[in-house]
Amino acid sequence: MATQQRKFFVGGNWKCNSSRAEVDKLCAGLNGSLPLPDAAEVVVAPPFVYIDRAHAALKPYFAVSAQNCWTKKGAFTGEVAPEMLKDIGINWAILGHSERRHVIGEKDELIAEKAKVALAAGLSVMYCIGELEKERVENRTNEVLATQMAALAKAITDWSHVVIAYEPVWAIGTGRTATPEQAQEAHLFVRQWMKEHVSAEVSNATRILYGGSVSPANCDVLASLPDVDGFLVGGASLDASKFVPIIKSVKAKL
C-alpha cells in the first residue's frame, strides 16, 4: 500500500499535443483548480517546445518533466541533454515510454543508459515498462517486465529518484484499461522483482504508477489497489477537468 514513504504520484504526459494557446489554457485550468491535496505529487510533461512556457506558467504545486532526453551534449541533432533540462529548471524526465520503445525503436539498454545519465545529472526519472498485447496473450507479461527492469538494475545503483510506470501497451490511448486484478498483479510482480533482485528497501520505497487509459471514471478503483502508487496519465492530462479528479483520487490512500 502507498504510505508516507511512497507518496502518491500523478504524472501527466502531454505527448506530441498542444499549441501555445492550448498550453496557456491548460496551465490556467490547472492553476485554477488549486488548492489540491498535498498528499499527491503532480508532474506534467509538455512537448519540448512548450516546456519552458508551461514551467513559467504553472504554480509551484505542479512540477514539470521532459518526455525524453539523450545521454550527453554534443553532435546529436534533434536531441536534448539532461544538463540542458536542469539549466532551465526541469527536474524530471520520462524515459522508455512505449511510443519510444515501439515506434521510435529504443532498446532496453539505451533507455537504461539514458536513465543512468539523467540521474547522474540530477534529474528524477519516470521509467516506463509494459507488455504488448501479443506478449500478454502469450502469458509473457512477467518475462517482459523482468527484462525491462533488469536493464535498469544493471545500469543504476541509486533508486531514490526513480519512479516506475507500468503501462500495458495495449491499453495506452485505446480506451481499454487493465482490470484492477491485472494492474495489481503486474505491480505486485514488479515490486517482488525489485525485492529479489535489488533490495527489500528499494522495493518498499519505489513508487509504481499505472498508465493506460486512466480516467476520472476508473481512477478511484485503481488508486485503491495496494501496489498502485499513482498514475501516468496520457489523454486525460490534456484536460484540467479530467486530470484534476485523477489527482484527487489520492483520497483512496488516505
> Which residues are part of the catalytic machinery?
97, 167
**Distances from the Cα of 87 to the Cα of 84, 90, 104, 132, angstroms:** 5, 7, 26, 36
Backbone angles phi, psi at 249, to 5 degrees: -65, -5
Contact between 112 and 118 (Cβ < 8 Å)? no
Cα separation, 108 vs 95, whole angstroms: 10
**Nearest Cα to Cα of residue 252 among 226, 232, 234, 233:** 226
Contact between 151 and 115 (Cβ < 8 Å)? no
**Nearest Cα to Cα of residue 9 among 240, 214, 247, 188:** 247
Cα separation, 82 vs 91, whole angstroms: 9
Query: Where do the DSSP E strands lie in 53-188?
Result: 62-66, 92-95, 124-129, 162-166
Contact between 138 and 168 (Cβ < 8 Å)? no
Contact between 12 and 249 (Cβ < 8 Å)? no
